Structure 1
Amino acid sequence: MRILIALCFAALAFNTVSAEFQEGTHYRTIHAGPASEEHQLTEFFSYFCGHCYRYYSQQLPELKKSLPKEVEFKPSHVGGLGGAMGQELSRAFAIAELLGKQAEVDEQLFSAIHRDKKRLSSRQDIKQLMVKAGIPANKFDSLVDSFMVNTKVAQMNKDTEKAEIRGVPAFVVNDKYLINTSVVSDPDTVVSLINYLNQKS
């Protein structure tokens, strides 16, 4: 009897959550295929984006801390913003990820562009900031046009196109559901929607 009552409460809780989120309002399905096998949240962002910088500074730390343990957080840089320099920043992102320097590079690039209002007009400008983030200049030179970085940048461009990203920051759950950030933005609601979509997948 107790088990039956517990199951009823669980079903009621799920139905309550389900009622809170509607496809077309809070999220949309970006393709008809299966969701990813592993639960994940992909953030599409650009270092050039002021909204991304504010989210990075104010809300992203809380969101990452609140994510369920089974959900992997995957940032992905959108190189389509900022012309050629956008793609150069995607290369910087890929290098940082390969070397385990993501936090240091994020802080350096976001701060230089948005806090210090530094204009980036060449690969050399980015290289100087990467060195400040702790990446040796010779390491940057050896990786920036490498096969690994080229592959990573091409994959991010492909993922951006597949997810039909039209603005950033954007969040995709399990490679299948695009969150409507104009309706769902605060970390608690994002996590609730992720839990709902994980059950749906």
Structure 2
Amino acid sequence: MKKLITLAFVALSALLVGCSESSTPQEGTHYKQLPANLSTFRLPVVTEVFSLNCGHCRKMESEIPKIEELTGESIGKVHVTFNESAQIGAMIYYAAEMQLGKKPSHTMMLDLFAATQMGDGATLGDKKAAIDRAFQNRSLVSPYDFNDEQQKQLFAAMQLADDITTKGEINSVPTFIVKGKYEVITPAHQDVESIANTINFLLTQP
């Protein structure tokens, strides 16, 4: 009987250790340290790196309010400029951010995703009209109607975003930067709760 009790305690201890390990995010699996400290860019504590042209980013946008609720953090945004289509998306996003003085609302983000990712049957004119509406419905100037000064501000914002993603060596989206030091490896997570768990863990790290 004593032997059985001892074995039970060993088994229980192993189970508890296993649960502890599985709930603690692992470096190299769930997150990694960035090659450069991006704190000098004064990013929000938790910042999503995304693209309006990315289907996975569009799905993630629907989860952002939940992640904010689970982490207690207002999540900032940085738009990538990987290629020509991403640069067009960045132009649209930063045209909104610079006029608002903050990140666009969740509702506007959904409208921008929908306009940018219209189906194959949509023409360039259709997409432009949808983008124009997303801005005009909020009393904002469409990026297609920017004057020279606004264009300069827009390109400066896009250059800053490019500097952030280049120095951080961000190669895939969507992802999250935490404290300017860590990148969440989103494909390693099964659901939004596990992503929030990793973010919460990184918030406690130096």
TM-score using structure 1 length? 0.72
1:23 is matched by which residue type in structure 2? E
Instruction: Among all aligned residue pairs of Structure 1 and Structure 2, give the percentage whose two residues are the same amino acid.
Output: 24
Asked whether the 8 Å contact 2:58–2:110 carries over to 1, the reply is no
Alignment-derived partner of residue 63 in structure 1: 67
Asked whether the 8 Å contact 1:28–1:178 carries over to 2, the reply is yes
Alignment-derived partner of residue 29 in structure 2: 25
Deviation per CA, 1:134-183, whole angstroms, max 9, x where unpaired?
A: 32359941378533222211011111112222211111111111111111
Residue 76 of structure 1: how far off its partner (Å): 1.0
Deviation per CA, 1:21-59, whole angstroms, max 9, x where unpaired?
A: 2111111111265867886111111111111111213x2
Instruction: Identify which of 157, 168, 187 aligns with 1:163.
Output: 168
Gap regions ≥5 residues in structure 1: 1-15
**1:79 and 1:54 mapped to 2: Cα distance?**
20
Q: SS at the partner of 1:108? A: helix
Residue 97 of structure 1: how far off its partner (Å): 1.0
User: Does structure 1 residue 112 correspond to structure 2 residue 115?
Assistant: yes
Alignment-derived partner of residue 95 in structure 1: 95
Asked whether the 8 Å contact 1:92–1:130 carries over to 2, the reply is no
Asked whether the 8 Å contact 1:35–1:175 carries over to 2, the reply is yes
Deviation per CA, 1:71-104, whole angstroms, max 9, x where unpaired?
A: 34111111224x1x42232122112112227125
Instruction: Identify which of 73, 77, 81 aligns with 1:79.
Output: 81
**2:96 and 2:36 mapped to 1: Cα distance?**
33
**1:132 and 1:40 mapped to 2: Cα distance?**
31
* Aligned CA-pair RMSD: 3.4
TM-score using structure 2 length? 0.71
2:28 is matched by which residue type in structure 1? G
Would the alpha carbon gap of residues 158 and 146 (structure 1) be closer, same or farther in structure 2, given more than 3 Å must change? Answer: same
**More divergent stretch after superposition (114-123 vs 145-154):** 114-123
Aligned length: 181
Residue 61 of structure 1: how far off its partner (Å): 2.1
Residue 17 of structure 1: how far off its partner (Å): 7.7
Asked whether the 8 Å contact 1:79–1:90 carries over to 2, the reply is yes
Would the alpha carbon gap of residues 130 and 32 (structure 1) be closer, same or farther in structure 2, given more than 3 Å must change? Answer: closer
Moved over 4 A (4+): 16-19, 32-39, 119-127, 137-140
